[in-house]
Amino acid sequence: MSILDNSEKLMILVSISDRLWEDYKNGDLTESDYIKRSDQIRNEINQRFDLTFYDIQSISSRIGYMLIKKKNAFSTVINYKIAKN
């Protein structure tokens, strides 16, 4: 298991933030839930330097989302998708 670098952590944070915003905009989250979850995920990702993909999967599942790593056919481009648990 490799430790994620800062660019990977940022991509994941942006993916989670986008999903939280969509859920808030669609009425699935209240404003207070949106703020609470956004702060929680940002703080946990930013405070730790030795995060692996599985660590972030665990963090995201605690706030109700599943993190999925997607690679292209050549395994050179990695995208992160977020789905509801």
For the segment 20-59, what is each residue's pLDDT rounded down to a tens digit?
Answer: 999 999 999 999 999 999 999 888 888 887 888 888 899 8
What is the pTM assigned to this prediction?
0.80
Containing structural domain, residue 72: 6-84
Domain membership of residue 1 (yes or no) is no
Question: In the beta sheet, which residues pair with residue 67?
Answer: 82
Closest CA to 15 of 70, 75, 73: 70
Domain membership of residue 24 (yes or no) is yes
Q: Work out how many domains the chain is built from and give that number.
A: 1
Domain membership of residue 77 (yes or no) is yes
Residue 77: pLDDT band with limits 50, 70, 90: low
CA 25 from chain centre, in angstroms, equals: 18
